[in-house]
Amino acid sequence: MQSPFAPWLDAGEPVLLDGGLGTELERRGHTQLGRLWSAALVRTNPAAIREVHRDYLNAGAQVISTATFQAAMPVIRHTGLHRAEAEDLLRDAIALATRERDRFHHHHADKPRPLVAASVGPFGAALCNGAEYTGRYEVSEKQLVAFHVERLRLFAESEADVIACETIPSLLEARVLLQLLAALPHRAAWLSLTCRDARHLADGSPLSEVLQAAQDMPNLCAIGVNCVGPRLLPRVIDTLRDHTALPVLAYPNASNAWHLETRQAVDETPPDAFGLAARSWLQAGARIIGGCCRTTPVHIAAMRQAMAPAPTLIG
């Protein structure tokens, strides 16, 4: 299977992802998102989502992610929607991204067409208690399969270019997702994990065990980390490079810490410094980079500027 990132990676160029979606919607005043988070606006205010997608594309993002991070099928149905309505909501979220991408590409047809990544968040995010940062949730493999399988199958038949399994904090959940993705060999996917340090997942499991489980999956086009502090990235990237030949992706938060009790970001990196830090992630070996919580189109524009090749001086 050809990687969806091939138009850039084959040319020796890095790929720039977008930044935060739910946190960016909150920053723009949409603060009552509830359990569905960004997906809550798919029906009530789709223009707000389209606007964020558009701003990231204009900032230079080559990949935009759908507003489906917390919208697993059991969660959507818990809000009162029937199965068919829940499926339609997911399809509508993908359509918002693909149509905005197509409008953008119509005016920039000289460049590779940006990708749409169908976002799949972890079981812990649906608990709304910060469990995605710790991986500490008591759940069986069977329950995790039931939580993820319907959304993954729908995304596999959608217009999205790649399935993005992201912010995965536990070894068990990572293995479940890899098994489910292996059953969808016709769809490209990436797996992005959350880490407590350079060598361990958020739940304390060795990062190397996930990387070993991810070997020999033809449809896995990248593996990496997200929703971690930017200071941690170079060391985590080193671990990834030591254990995988897959392209490494990295998209950290704007801040280096998050207090679960106060719901406050700590030690936040301003956009210009975030953009400059991106150079060190590329130098460490990441090939696909972007931003996660509290990063904005301004952060992505700063990364695009920092990633631009230096001008050639003549004379």
Band the pLDDT of 311: cuts 50, 70, 90: low
Residue 1 inside a domain? The answer is no
Residue 289 has a pLDDT of 98
Domain-located, residue 41: yes
**What's the pLDDT at 261?**
54
The answer to whether the CB of 26 falls within 8 A of the CB of 33 is: yes
Q: What does the pLDDT read at residue 181?
A: 98
Instruction: Identify the pLDDT of residue 118.
Output: 98
Of 256 and 272, the structure prediction assigns the larger pLDDT to: 272
Confidence of residue 75 (pLDDT cuts 50, 70, 90): very high
| Amino acid 36: pLDDT | 93
CA end-to-end span of the chain, whole Å?
A: 45
Longest dimension (CA), the chain: 69
Classified as helix, coil or strand, 295 is: coil
Parent domain of 123: 6-307
Structurally, how many domains does the chain consist of? 1
**HSE-CB for 123 with a 13 A CA cutoff:** 23
- Confidence at residue 259, expressed as pLDDT on a 0 to 100 scale: 47
Determine, yes or no, domain membership for 12.
Answer: yes
- CATH classification at residue 195: 3.20.20.330
Whether residue 314 is contained in a domain is answered as: no
In the structure encoding, which two tokens stand for residue 257, read together? 């810490």
Of the candidates 107, 105, 103, 89, the residue with the CA atom closest to the CA atom of residue 46? 89
Does residue 30 fall inside a structural domain?
A: yes
Predicted confidence (pLDDT) per residue in 18-54, tens digit: 999 999 999 999 998 888 999 999 999 999 999 999 9
In a domain, 292, yes or no: yes
Q: What span, in angstroms and rounded, lies between the C-alpha atoms of 218 and 202?
A: 26
Domain annotation covers residue 313: no
Query: What is the per-residue pLDDT for 264?
Result: 58
- Give the model confidence (pLDDT) of 192-219 as tens digits: 999 999 999 999 999 999 999 999 899 9
Q: Judge contact between 15 and 289, C-beta under 8 A.
A: yes
Asked whether residue 229 is assigned to any structural domain, the reply reads yes
Q: What is the pLDDT of residue 107?
A: 97
- Residue 155 scores a pLDDT above 60: yes
pTM summary value:
0.94
